[in-house]
Amino acid sequence: MGYKSLADCVNDLEKHNHLIRISQEVDPHLEMAAIQLRVYENNGPAILFENVKGTKFRAVSNLFGSIERSKFMFRDRYEDIKKLIALKSDPLSALKKPLDNWKIPFVALGALPLKKSFNKTLLNNICKISDLPLIQHWPNDGGAFVTLPAVYTEDIDKPGIMKSNLGMYRIQLNGNTYEKDTEIGLHYQLHRGIGVHQTKSNAKGLPLKVSIFVGGPPAHMLSAVMPLPEGIPELTFAGALNNRRFRYYYDNDGFCINADADFVITGEVYPNENKPEGPFGDHLGYYSLQHDFPLMRVRNVYHKKDAIWPFTVVGRPPQEDTSFGALIHDMTGHAIKDELPGVHDVHAVDAAGVHPLLLAIGSERYTPYIQEDRRPAELLTISNHILGTGQLSLAKFLFIIAKEDNPAISTHHEKEFFTHLLERIDLKRDIHFYTKTSIDTLDYSGDGLNTGSKVVIAAAGSKKRELGKEIPAEFKLNDNFRNPKIVFPGIIAIEGNKFNNYTTAQTEITALNNYIDNNIADTFPFIIICDDANFVASTIGNWLWVTFTRANPSHDIYGINSYFENKHWCSAGPLIIDSRIKPHHAPVLERDPTIEKKVDEMGKKGGVLHGII
């Protein structure tokens, strides 16, 4: 049977040595977040904070700190859920192997939400927003945020739980101009189901009722980020994964209450009521800046008697939320082949902040009778499909290769993937831009909120070049650039002057044309301009993060001796990506030195975190 509560999960994790308790008082202002970051970096256990300054409630973090612990929490139903998802792709397999799939009907039955008409104990305990653990994660955050919420809304035209939406949208509890205890911020991005619900409510001039579930079984948290097909409520997945039907009821004001949650914050979002939300240290490794987002007017804050507040810290990946992506891919990886015909694999690269960079493998079957001079054809059709699908459409860079050229290659081995692509790319043919389009809300590389560009780089066919492993003697730089470093074969990073504006950058690149020969592309197809070449070249993770979070394709991709051919952009020499920090970029996240010293003391002999950090 699944967990009935978050406390059940905490006790289970502790019993199996997956959790430690911290009994000394900890400060929710930066200190708890610093501990979480350090424990995660050291592959440590989940942490139960028993004495949080300023609140009577306990808090827990790092529940999903490893893929192994995540699977352990869902061990009762994890493999069955994978089978259930696989059956959608191949329903006949159930008939072929009935003994392997006999549990599936029971899994499906557990997905049905259960409405309760009694034992509504959660309604007996009410507190204020200021009574909660007000955790501030990064020094320049706008206030305290909820980082593991499950935000519930219903369709005003078709009310009820089966047409509901559950999403993990960040919630700002205080700060800025929010009125204490009565107003909180609700931030959601593009392609989110809550946006559909708010649009319908706005059209009728009515407020949108919102219930924010915090805590409860971990399956409820994961279900809030699960990319389910439109029309399938996330709460059905929560019940199936937890091996316990989702239990709910409604309070006297008509708000849905998760009976197993530790906290439920209810309130309303009125049409056209927004307030500044943020800044917030986000999963790209930068601060998302302050912008107007919906204002939620708080109605009630319900809690269990011994409620536990779950939280995580997001920042430059990998972080705890990396496990969400790994779990989702493991459970649903095969389903993407049915959703996107011709696609064998798509990988949103965590090290690059997830949305900025997609790697894909597709089929290239349009002209199997042509063996010479094979070129991307079906790959381009597939690329359009990928960029028109849900959250995949938020990607800025999509690199795609043909499975037929190397059936063993994987999108999850980034160096090998890029090596394969660089060996085959035709810089005059294989680069395709989408300008003035939407990108991720948290990505500030573009020229406005949600606004930027995309590029598809496709490669198919036989190997065209041997990639260079040493800086060639003929690789010359002018005074604006210096310190060339090999990232890995085929890619050179160079340092540029501090970026001032695009007019100056264009002048610098134009001058670079006189120093770099077209033939360099024969061994080094990509050149990355950055602020610190040593840093970029030191690890693949650094290269992925800097290159793809700090570049807007339409503005920051150049080519040596580039030109247009019938409106198609071509590069005669190496492709250049300018990934310097720009004046309009969001600041990089940096930790507070004083807090870090305090956490260091906890890790010393005799300290509460000794042997863990």
What fold characterizes domain 332-459? Answer: UbiD C-terminal domain-like (3.40.1670)
Radius of gyration of the chain (CA): 25
Determine how many CB atoms are found less than 10 A away from the CB of residue 207. 18
In terms of DSSP H, where are the helices of 513-604? 533-538, 540-549, 553-556, 593-603
Q: Can you tell me the distance from the alpha carbon of 490 to that of 465, in angstroms, rounded to the nearest whole number?
A: 10
Q: Can you tell me the distance from the alpha carbon of 468 to that of 414, in angstroms, rounded to the nearest whole number?
A: 18
HEC letters along 308-344: EEEECCCCCCCCCCHHHHHHHHHHHHHHHHHHCCCEE
> For the purposes of burial, counting CB atoms within 10 Å of the CB of 251, is it exposed (0-12), middle (13-18) or buried (19 or more)?
middle
The residues, ordered by sequence, that sit 6+ positions from 119 with a Cβ below 8 Å of its Cβ are 259
Token code pair at residue 357: 């960079």
The residues, ordered by sequence, that sit 6+ positions from 137 with a Cβ below 8 Å of its Cβ are 30, 33, 145, 147, 280, 281, 313, 314, 315
Q: What is the structure's pLDDT at 86? A: 64
Our measurement of the distance from residue 520's CA atom to the centroid of its chain's CA atoms, rounded to an integer in Å, reads 36
Contact call for residues 405 and 378 (beta carbons, < 8 A): no
Token code pair at residue 503: 């007019």
Q: Can you tell me the distance from the alpha carbon of 377 to that of 384, in angstroms, rounded to the nearest whole number?
A: 12
Map residue 599 onto helix, strand or coil: helix
Residue ranges of the chain with pLDDT lower than 70?
1, 86-110, 190-191, 229-231, 333-335, 338, 368-372
Token code pair at residue 451: 């606004």
In terms of DSSP H, where are the helices of 42-137? 67-73, 78-89, 93-96, 104-110
The residues, ordered by sequence, that sit 6+ positions from 124 with a Cβ below 8 Å of its Cβ are none
Q: What is the structure's pLDDT at 101? A: 46
Q: What is the structure's pLDDT at 216? A: 97
Contact call for residues 452 and 394 (beta carbons, < 8 A): no
- Edge-first strand order for the sheet with 451-459 is 343-348, 357-362, 397-402, 451-459, 431-438
Contact call for residues 43 and 53 (beta carbons, < 8 A): no
CATH number of the domain located at residue range(s) 6-311 in this protein: 2.30.110.10
In this structure, what are the phi and psi dihedrals at residue 520, rounded to the nearest 5 degrees?
-60, -30
In terms of DSSP H, where are the helices of 387-539? 414-424, 502-512, 533-538
Q: Can you tell me the distance from the alpha carbon of 25 to that of 31, in angstroms, rounded to the nearest whole number?
A: 10
Q: Can you tell me the distance from the alpha carbon of 509 to that of 97, in angstroms, rounded to the nearest whole number?
A: 61
Q: Can you tell me the distance from the alpha carbon of 18 to that of 73, in angstroms, rounded to the nearest whole number?
A: 10
| Cα 427–Cα 430–Cα 433 angle in degrees, nearest 5 | 105
Map residue 560 onto helix, strand or coil: coil
Q: What is the structure's pLDDT at 545? A: 98
In the chain, domain spans: 6-311, 332-459
Q: Can you tell me the distance from the alpha carbon of 426 to that of 464, in angstroms, rounded to the nearest whole number?
A: 8
